Amino acid sequence: MSSLRRRKPINESSDSKHNEEEEDEDHDDVDADGDDDVNGKNKKTPSKIKKKRGEKPPKQPKWSCMDTCCWFIGCICIIWWLLLFLYNAMPASFPQYVTEAITGPLPDPPGVKLKKEGLEAKHPVVFVPGIVTGGLELWEGRECAEGLFRKRLWGGTFGEVYKRPLCWVEHMSLDNETGLDPCGIRVRPVSGLVAADYFAPGYFVWAVLIANLARIGYEDKTMYMAAYDWRLSFQNTEVRDQTLSRIKSNIELLVATNGGRKVVVIPHSMGVLYFLHFMKWVEAPAPMGGGGGPDWCSKHIKAVVNIGGPFLGVPKAIAGLFSAEAKDIAVARALAPGFLDNDIFQFQTLQHVMRMSRTWDSTMSMIPRGGNTIWGGLDLSPEEGNSCAKKREKKNETQIADQAGSENAVCKAKSANYGRIISFGKDVAEAPSSDIERIDFRGAIKGHSAANTTCRDVWTEYHDMGFAGIKAVAEYKTYTADSLVDLLHFVAPKMMVRGTAHFSYGVADNLDDPQYKHYKYWSNPLETRLPNAPDMEIYSLYGVGLPTERAYVYKLSPHAECSIPFKIDTSADDEDTCLRDGVYSVDGDETVPVLSAGFMCAKGWRGKTRFNPSGIRTYIREYNHLPPANLLEGRGTLSGAHVDIMGNFALIEDVIRIAAGASGEELGGDQVYSKIFNWSEKINLRLDEEIPVHSSR
Q: Known catalytic residues?
A: 269, 589, 642
Helix axes 165-172, 349-357, angle to 10 degrees: 20
Half-sphere exposure of 477 (CA within 13 A, CB side): 16
Which regions of 478-613 does DSSP assign to beta strands (E)? 478-479, 537-544, 546-556, 566-568, 579-580, 583-588
DSSP-assigned states of every residue in 19-47: HHHHHHHHHHHHHHT-STTTTT-S---HH
Whole-angstrom distance, CA of residue 648 vs CA of residue 658 = 16
Which residues lie closer than 8 Å to 543 by C-beta, 6 or more apart? 308, 588, 589, 590, 622, 623, 624, 625, 639, 640, 641, 642, 645, 648
Helix axes 349-357, 315-323, angle to 10 degrees: 120
Helix axes 270-283, 243-256, angle to 10 degrees: 80
Helix axes 466-475, 481-491, angle to 10 degrees: 170
Whole-angstrom distance, CA of residue 624 vs CA of residue 637 = 11
Taking only Cα atoms into account, the Rg of the chain, rounded to an integer number of angstroms, comes to 33
Report the amino acid identity of residue 575: E
> For residue 216, which of 656, 637, 652 has the smallest C-alpha distance?
656
Whole-angstrom distance, CA of residue 101 vs CA of residue 495 = 55
Sheet holding 223-225, edge to edge: 223-225, 125-128, 263-267, 301-307, 537-544, 617-624
Integer CA distances (angstroms), 571 to 201, 554, 563, in order:
36, 10, 20
Integer CA distances (angstroms), 123 to 222, 319, 372, 460, 532, in order:
8, 40, 40, 48, 21
Using alpha carbons only, give the angle 523, 526, 528 rounded to the nearest 5 degrees: 60
Whole-angstrom distance, CA of residue 676 vs CA of residue 622 = 10
User: Which runs of consecutive H residues, i.e. helices, occur in 65-206?
Assistant: 65-89, 94-103, 110-116, 159-163, 165-172
> For residue 106, which of 503, 458, 629 has the smallest C-alpha distance?
629
Q: Are 556 and 565 in contact (CB under 8 A)?
A: yes
Helix axes 493-502, 481-491, angle to 10 degrees: 130
483 alpha-carbon distance from chain centroid: 24
Report the amino acid identity of residue 60: Q
CB-based burial of residue 271 (10 Å sphere; 0-12 exposed, 13-18 middle, 19+ buried)?
buried
> For residue 476, which of 404, 378, 356, 383 has the smallest C-alpha distance?
378
Q: Are 129 and 271 in contact (CB under 8 A)?
A: yes
DSSP bridge pairs for 109: none
Whole-angstrom distance, CA of residue 577 vs CA of residue 538 = 34
